[in-house]
Amino acid sequence: MVRLKRSILWACLIAIAVLAVLSVYGAFLGADRAQAFFNSVPVVIYWGAFGVLLAAGIAVLRRLSWVPSLLLMHLGCILILAGGMWGSPLGQDLQKRFFGTERIRKGQMPVLEGTAENRVMVADSNDTQELPFSIRLRDFRIEYYEPGDLYIQSRNGRRWKLPAEAGRTQALGENLGTVTIQRAFRNFKMDVSGDERIAYDAPGGLNPALEVMIQKPDGTTARRYVFLHRAGHGNPNDPLVMSYEQSPRDYVSELEVVRDNQVVASKDIEVNHPLHHGGYHFYQHSYGQNQMGEYTILMVVSDAGLNIVYTGYAMLIVGVFWHFWGRRLWPTLRSRQAACAPVGVSGEVPNGTG
């Protein structure tokens, strides 16, 4: 028995070390190849063996099942492994073969504004599969941080950034002069009559631009218009390159779930706020525009195994804090309060402590 226990402990140590080494190896592969690697048959066998080892440990090593904190964290690890394997490509394949469950593991779904869609382009294949319900896109929009920034770059590579608001000024040093933002347009328009050009903000529409005045060191001035997200066609002899940028604050898709012509759910999704419906999560993934209009690209991910993994997480966290903080830090703090004197934390060798 002692030998069996010893062997399990050694096997466990080796299993942990092997996983650490594999993780480092995987880091050199990059995410896509690492994913394929960790789902390859030899590694899947390793995952299974790890789970069995944990279970054997709990069965054979008495303290693992008797000390609740230890039990929680080791059981938690088993659940995380099990949930991960249940939701993995291989796990889903096996479920399809044995239980006939037809589930999309992961895929992308472009939805045109104003239309409903239930076809999903399945990841890692050329297949299209249908969901038992449709997703309608009411509206897609990008929200930006206001007011944006004007970037100025000199030919020798110096860069300045200033908020894109009228009245802002930036001195660029002796050789380059000073830049002032004179006006900020929401919808820039220009009327040309003869030699005269008049820039103005037209109602409606969207064509953000900045009017910039450059005061050169020799006393002359020059006026420039810089348009949002459009690189200017600068004269190559011009000493300054300018661009007007706004960073996105949010990508929002207003979605409705439609079953049998009835809207059964709706949610405005953003990055970090997916829609959860019918065993799938829908994520804001990308967007685009074609001749039919604007569209959003949703990522569709099955939530198979997710609850098992999250339960495992909860057990692991509770177990670890209970084991190390609850049994060490807490009694120490309490006895300190009682006696107002430092009392030992069990830093001694944990063999048989408990």
Partner 1 sequence: MAIKYTFQGLLIYMAMAAFLSAFLATVAGRRKAGQWLFMAGFCASLLAYVYRWIDVRHVPLQNLFEVFLCLGMVCYPISVVGRRVLRIGGQWADMLIAAIVLFPAGFKFHAEPQHLPPALQSWLFVPHVGVYTLSYIFMAMAAFRAAVHLCTAKRAAVVDAILPPEQATYTLIAIGFPLLTLGLILGSIWGKRAWGDYWGWDPKELWSLASWLVYVGYFHWRHMFGTQYARINSLWAIAGMAAIVITLLWVNLSRLFPGVHSYAT
Q: Take residue 73 and report the two structure tokens written for it.
A: 């964290």
Following DSSP, what letter does each residue of 183-208 receive, concatenated?
A: EEESBEEEEEETTEEEEEE-SSS-B-
Q: Take residue 232 and report the two structure tokens written for it.
A: 């200017």
Of 4, 7, 16, 286, the one binding partner 1 by CB under 8 A: 16
Of 34, 43, 44, 61, the one binding ligand HEM by CB under 6 A: 61
Residue 69, phi then psi, degrees to nearest 5: -65, -40
- For residue 70, the partner it binds in partner 1, ligand HEM, none, with Cβ less than 5 to 8 A by kind, is ligand HEM
* Choices 38-46, 61-69, 153-161, 214-222 (CB under 6 A): range interacting with ligand HEM: 61-69
* Choices 56-64, 210-218, 224-232, 265-273 (CB under 6 A): range interacting with ligand HEM: 56-64
Q: x-or-dash pattern for ligand HEM, window 220-259, by CB under 6 A? A: ----------------------------------------
State which residue, 20 or 202, has the beta carbon closest to ligand HEM.
Answer: 20
Q: x-or-dash pattern for partner 1, window 60-99, by CB under 8 A? A: ------------------------x---------------
Euclidean distance between CA atoms 60 and 83, whole angstroms: 24
- For residue 30, the partner it binds in ligand HEM, partner 1, none, with Cβ less than 5 to 8 A by kind, is partner 1
Euclidean distance between CA atoms 157 and 115, whole angstroms: 47
Of 47, 72, 74, 275, the one binding ligand HEM by CB under 6 A: 74
Q: Which one-letter amino acid corresponds to residue 239?
A: P
- For residue 321, the partner it binds in ligand HEM, partner 1, none, with Cβ less than 5 to 8 A by kind, is partner 1
- Structural Rg of the chain based on CA atoms: 31
**Under 8 Å between Cβ of 160 and 177:** no
Residue 192, phi then psi, degrees to nearest 5: -115, 120
121 contacts ligand HEM (rule: CB under 6 A): no
Of 6, 63, 158, 334, the one binding ligand HEM by CB under 6 A: 63
Peptide bond into 147 cis (omega under 30): yes
Shortest Å distance, C-beta 37 to ligand HEM: 20
Euclidean distance between CA atoms 121 and 129, whole angstroms: 7
* Residue 157: DSSP 8-state: S
- For residue 286, the partner it binds in ligand HEM, partner 1, none, with Cβ less than 5 to 8 A by kind, is none
Residue 197, phi then psi, degrees to nearest 5: -125, 130
Euclidean distance between CA atoms 2 and 48, whole angstroms: 25
State which residue, 133 or 251, has the beta carbon closest to partner 1.
Answer: 251
